[in-house]
Structure 1
Amino acid sequence: MKSLEKAADYLSQGLALIGSIGLFAMLAHVTLDVALRNFADTPIPATNEIVSRYYMVLIVFLPLAWVERQRTMITVEVMEMLLTPRGRRISDGAVALLATGIYGFLGWVTWSVALKSMAIGTFVDVLGHKIAVWPSYFLPPAGFVLAAAMTALRLAIIIAGPSATAEEGPET
């Protein structure tokens, strides 16, 4: 179980890194566009479309797995302090199961939308030039499925109990 958790950590950190790189690329792209528009009167064509169809989708959906792995998704714990440790474990397991189902469903739905977009070759027209945007439709299902994998791992850890990771010994 410990090696699976370590692989999940590396995967989620890698996805967060890709999201961070996308954020910096968007920052550079928009800054360059604004500078060129104001100083040389030559904006970069399709900046709005690329930012909204690629960068923002990448930044939002790929790091979902990292957010789930870090357990930093928004939570409400009003009744949590009233529960026994076993009750908290059951509650955490139910939340992980529900989240896995929701993420899995969202991944399935967005996957079918991505396949349809690819099949018809979805694009945007910018100044008479076709810019393919169908590849960006594959980012949400990837993010949702990987987030589902992280919540499923959390559920497996909860079911296995706290002794399951301790039995495998210290990390090397």
Structure 2
Amino acid sequence: MKRLEKVADLLSQGLALIGSIGLMAMLVHISIDVISRNIFDLPVPATNEVVSRYYMVLIVFLPLAWVERQRTMITVEVMEMVLGPLGRRLSDAAVGLLATVIYASLGWVTWTVALKNMEIGTFVDVLGRQLPVWPSYFLPTAGFFLAALMTALRVILLLKGPSEDQGSSPESAHP
């Protein structure tokens, strides 16, 4: 189980790193566009399309698994105070199971949309040229399915119960 947790940590950190690189690439791309447009009166073609169809989608959806693994998603703990440790663990497992089902459902729906867009070769027209955007439809799918895996792993760990060497895992950070 520790090996699976380590793989999950590395995967989620890798996806967060890719999202960070996407954020930096977007920053550079937009900065070059602004400088080029204002100094040389020559905007970088397709900046709006690339930013909205690739960078933003990458930044939003790929790090979902990392957010779930770190347990930094927004939570509401209305009943937590009245539950004991076992009740909290079962409540967290139920929420994790629900999140897994929702993420997997969203992953399935976005998968079918991505396949349709790939099949028809979705593109946007930029100055008379076709910029393919169908690959960006797979980014939400990857983000949702990987987030579902992270929440499923959390449910398994919660139902398994605390172990002696679980002190440094993200699950033990939750009171």
Q: TM-score range by the shorter chain?
A: over 0.9
Q: Which deviates more from structure 2 when the two are superposed, residues 156-165 or residues 105-114?
A: 156-165
Rounded to whole Å, the distance in 2 between the matches of 1:72 and 1:42 is 42
Rounded to whole Å, the distance in 1 between the matches of 2:109 and 2:158 is 28
**Residues 132-171 of structure 1 correspond to what in structure 2 (within 5 A)?**
132-163=132-163
State the match for 1:43 in structure 2: 43
Rounded to whole Å, the distance in 2 between the matches of 1:53 and 1:120 is 17
Contact 1:16 1:62 in 2 (8 A): yes
SS at match of 1:163: coil
SS at match of 1:41: coil
**Residues 92-111 of structure 1 correspond to what in structure 2 (within 5 A)?**
92-111=92-111
AA at the equivalent of 1:129: R
State the match for 2:119 in structure 1: 119
Contact 1:2 1:165 in 2 (8 A): no
The two structures, once aligned, show a CA RMSD in angstroms of 1.0
Rounded to whole Å, the distance in 2 between the matches of 1:73 and 1:110 is 21
1:93 CA drift (Å)? 0.6
Percent identity for Structure 1 against Structure 2? 74
**Residues 56-95 of structure 1 correspond to what in structure 2 (within 5 A)?**
56-95=56-95
1:86 CA drift (Å)? 1.1
1:164 CA drift (Å)? 7.6
**Residues 4-43 of structure 1 correspond to what in structure 2 (within 5 A)?**
4-43=4-43
Aligned residues: 166
1:103 CA drift (Å)? 0.3
TM-score by length of 2: 0.93
AA at the equivalent of 1:12: S
